[in-house]
Amino acid sequence: MIPLEPVRLKKERVLIITWSITFLVLFILLIFLGFLMRIGQAEMKKLLLADFYSLMTLHGLGMTAVMFSFAFAILWYLTSTRFTSLNIRIGYLVYFTLLIAIGGLTIGILIGKFGPGWFLLYPLPFKSGTWLSWSAGVTIISLIVLGIAWLIGILHLLYRLAKEFGGFGSLLGWQYLRKKEVEKELPPIILVTTISLVPALLAFIVGAVMLVMYLLQFIDPELKFDPLLLQNITLFFAHTFVSVTLFCGVAWLHQLLPEFTRRKWEISKVFVYFWNATFLLILIAWFQNLYMDFVEPGAREFSGQILNFLSAIPATIITMYGVIVQFYHSKIKWSVVPLMFLFGVAGWAIAGFAATVESTISVYKVFHNTMFVPAHLHTNMLMGVTLFILGFLFYFFCEKTRDYGGEIAKIGFWFFIAGGYGFVLMFYFEGFSSIPRRYARYTGIGIKSMHDTAVQFSQLSVFFVIFLFIGLLIMCFSLMSAFLKTERNRISE
């Protein structure tokens, strides 16, 4: 691609800066909701049950939407400024749709008290009696609108990339498997982006079908759907969505990390094979959740475990290996950006390993639906995806100064790591202690030792979230000052 004209580059920069600031504000607000939930569980402040479940629903739906949207925005920015031109109007469409959807979700959830959790497990959204009936409609419509905007955004991005690199097969790196010499080199970020966004596309289509079914039921409450079918759809959607958000981060890791290690990250045949295998495995890893359903065919349960174990192999082998080769003896200068990338990969590895152990059927039986689930989910999202995102933000905002926030950012980073790991560790301990998840209070359990354990871990967790918060605020301050410095330099130039 020919370098972008300054005017277009500026436009793309304005979009990503707007998006970054929005992300940070929403992210901190949504963490705060989680913090309130932990305070309630710690019995430090009494939270009404309905309020707890509204917070839980908004925290879950909001986080998944905001994190995926921003991960997409980063890929959008890197693609449009380095590989192929994109229609910026579509970028803004996705951005404003996210704002509208978050507004809709907030109204439906905080005012209408809609609280079925981010899973919206059928038929709970329609069978509660505790939330206002319109709130389900507002939430479902907000999610449908957001899904459509994502679909348009992803299709546009993939279409332009396919055009630039000579077809969809080339985006998946198939040209490397032929005997012929490869004419146009494919940057690994493009391959991993494709591997992330195509399953996302499938997940959104399936998710959209589910939401339309929900909308039909909302309009006509007499309708009835099969709860097993809808549970399968929900699990497929949720699993794929979470994996895909992480893989978006892995995609820009391939592009940005080499700038720090000064080592090229190349595509090889093995790389293509492994990522193509991951492509399929992302789509079937959700089978593990079916162990709970006796009526599911046994073969699917066995295959769930086998596929889950297998899905751990290709993506981890190729990425961990790539990351080790990047860092080993690289004489790298340890600013926060490579630190965040390295720790992000470590967070992913830990979450992935914990999830693999959990996917063993016999373990699953005693870990599923306990705090072990938020434990590995938060390790994945907070200690994986969030670090990849923060790494990008420091990279982007300090591109000119190249000091990457200096020592202040590093202090913030270590606070975040200490607070974050302390926070997820409490979830793991609760999981090992069989504490159920999604309990607003532990007073109804009837087993005193369990109640006490849960409350104590929640209290410790509150302490760690404060630590994490401090780290995050220090990093935001550092980012903000880097941004202002760059802008001042730009004006004086």
Q: What are the two backbone dihedrals, phi and then psi, of residue 221, each rounded to the nearest 5 degrees?
A: -60, -15
Residue 263 binds to another protein (criterion: CB under 8 A): yes
Out of 1, 9, 96, 309, the only residue in the binding site for another protein (CB under 8 A) is 309
Distance CA(131)–CA(115), nearest Å, equals: 7
Residue 438 binds to another protein (criterion: CB under 8 A): yes
Out of 4, 107, 215, 346, the only residue in the binding site for another protein (CB under 8 A) is 346
Neighbouring residues of 468: CB distance < 8 A, sequence distance ≥ 6: 31, 415, 416, 419, 420, 422, 423
Compute the least distance from the CB of residue 202 to another protein, in Å: 24
Residue 331 binds to another protein (criterion: CB under 8 A): yes
Residue 116 binds to another protein (criterion: CB under 8 A): yes
Which residues ranging from 283 to 302 are in contact with another protein (CB under 8 A)? 291-295, 298, 301-302
Q: How many residues touch another protein (CB under 8 A)?
A: 84
Out of 181, 183, 220, 226, the only residue in the binding site for another protein (CB under 8 A) is 226
Out of 85, 106, 303, 360, the only residue in the binding site for another protein (CB under 8 A) is 360
- Region from 325-333, 385-393, 402-410, 483-491 binding another protein, contact rule CB under 8 A: 325-333
Which residues ranging from 8 to 47 are in contact with another protein (CB under 8 A)? none
Residue 91 binds to another protein (criterion: CB under 8 A): no
Out of 330, 401, 459, 481, the only residue in the binding site for another protein (CB under 8 A) is 330
Q: At 359, list the tokens.
A: 């996917």
Compute the least distance from the CB of residue 80 to another protein, in Å: 31
Q: At 23, list the tokens.
A: 């992300």
The single-letter code of the amino acid at 197 is L
Residue 437 binds to another protein (criterion: CB under 8 A): yes
Distance CA(462)–CA(386), nearest Å, equals: 19
* C-alpha 63 chain-centroid distance: 8
Q: At 215, list the tokens.
A: 């909308």
Compute the least distance from the CB of residue 270 to another protein, in Å: 8
Kindly provide the residue ranges of all beta strands, DSSP E only, lying in 31-139, ordered along the sequence.
Answer: none
Out of 436, 466, 473, 481, the only residue in the binding site for another protein (CB under 8 A) is 436
Distances (CA, A) of 149 to 65, 96, 100, 146, 389: 12, 9, 11, 5, 21
Q: At 239, list the tokens.
A: 């699993």
H or E segment at 424?
Answer: helix 406-432
Distance CA(423)–CA(37), nearest Å, equals: 13
- Region from 193-201, 212-220, 222-230, 391-399 binding another protein, contact rule CB under 8 A: 222-230
Which residues ranging from 363 to 382 are in contact with another protein (CB under 8 A)? 363, 365-370
Residue 442 binds to another protein (criterion: CB under 8 A): yes
Residue 223 binds to another protein (criterion: CB under 8 A): no
Contact 177, 257 (CB under 8 A): no
